[in-house]
Amino acid sequence: MHKSSTLAVPEHAGVPRHLAIIMDGNGRWATQRFLPRSAGHARGVQAVRRVVEACGRRGVRYLTLFAFSSENWRRPQEEVTLLMRLFVQTLQKEVDKLNEQGVRLRVVGDTSAFDSGLQDLIRKAEERTAQNDTLHLTIAANYGGRWDILQAMQRMLTEHPELCADPKGIDETALTPYLTMSFAPEPDLFIRTGGEQRISNFLIWQLAYTELYFTERYWPDISVRDIDAAFEWYRTRERRFGRTSAQLAGGD
Ligand code: FPP
């Protein structure tokens, strides 16, 4: 039988245990107001703060935010530099507060591409909050879902070279411990703001059974009420994970 790494149907709690978000629309928010794109990103940071606090209060255990994709390097150099600076400033400014709130911060992605100062800040922030368990906040930075699967495969085969001689012996449960999000359950709910309906190489492995919610709202405009509306919608979903409704009703 095909062995899947998605084993259990989780309790359908009122709030998602794991919420993953693509924060899109910062640039358009700014352009609409005749402001530079940087103003949109700065307002985007305020929205991050609002959403982190709201998720903490509502009992979300894992919140994963797509801050910078592997493809975002293709943006004008000026904007890339600005995003990096914003990232550093936010880490410096927010880490004390996050720590007080019991937030555990992680950054996933190929951070080796960042300058050493930023890598150092990331490491320190992760170490500083490593004992916290209230909300696991993960920032995906220079992250791509395909990169994640490839690096998992490479690390698995490096640790278990014997698998090269027996590729059929590789199943999902062998690979998943090597994915960067292996510490978290798969996302229950995904939200993308800004009107596009795409996954854009975000957690492509982990989103296989996730409920997908799209809103036209630009990220800087996202309010706590918008998050509640997404949770309300999530509560109406029946998650079957390939089973039938009857099986779920019978608890099989
Ligand atoms: C997408 O909007 C947003 C980004 C590429 C950057 C997201 C970054 C932040 C919200 C701020 C930094 C975050 C942290 C966690 C410190 P876009 O620029 O693609 O908008 P557009 O599609 O309207 O152009």
Domain ranges of the chain: 19-153+180-234
Q: Which of 24, 148, 188, 226 is catalytic?
A: 24
pLDDT of amino acid 57: 95
Q: Are strands 135-143 and 211-214 parallel, antiparallel or unpaired?
A: unpaired
Question: Atom 7, ligand 1: which residue's CA is nearest?
Answer: 67
Given ligand 1 and candidates 28, 29, 41, 197, which is best to mutate, with the most ligand atoms within 8 Å of its CB?
Answer: 41
Q: Is 72 a catalytic residue?
A: yes
List the structure tokens of 227. Answer: 């998050």
| Average pLDDT value for the chain | 91
Phi, psi at residue 171, to the nearest 5°? Answer: -125, 180
pLDDT at residue 117 tops 70? yes
pLDDT at residue 202 tops 90? yes
pLDDT at residue 201 tops 60? yes
Q: Write the DSSP string, 196-221.
A: ----TTSSTTTTTT-EEEE-SS-GGG
Q: How far is the CA of 44 from the centre of ligand 1 (A)?
A: 7
Cβ atoms 215, 193 nearer than 8 A: yes
Phi, psi at residue 189, to the nearest 5°? Answer: -135, 135
Q: Is 142 a catalytic residue?
A: no
pLDDT digits (tens, 9 = 90+) for 158-168: 999 999 999 99
pLDDT digits (tens, 9 = 90+) for 22-77: 999 999 999 999 999 999 999 999 999 999 999 999 999 999 999 888 888 888 88
The CATH class given to the 19-153+180-234 domain equals alpha beta
pLDDT of amino acid 70: 80
pLDDT at residue 189 tops 60? yes
Strand order through the sheet with 189-192: 103-108, 135-143, 62-69, 18-22, 189-192, 211-214
pLDDT at residue 142 tops 60? yes
pLDDT at residue 239 tops 80? no
Find the mean pLDDT for residues 112-131. 93
Whole-prediction pTM value? Answer: 0.90
Position 4 confidence tier, pLDDT thresholds 50, 70, 90: low
**Residues whose CB falls within 8 Å of the CB of residue 88, separated by 6 or more in sequence, listed in order:** 117, 118, 121
Position 7 confidence tier, pLDDT thresholds 50, 70, 90: low
Q: Residues enclosing ligand 1, CB less than 6 A?
A: 23-28, 41, 44-45, 48, 65, 67, 72, 83, 86-87, 90, 139, 194, 219
pLDDT digits (tens, 9 = 90+) for 144-157: 999 999 999 999 99
Q: How far is the CA of 54 from the centre of ligand 1 (A)?
A: 19
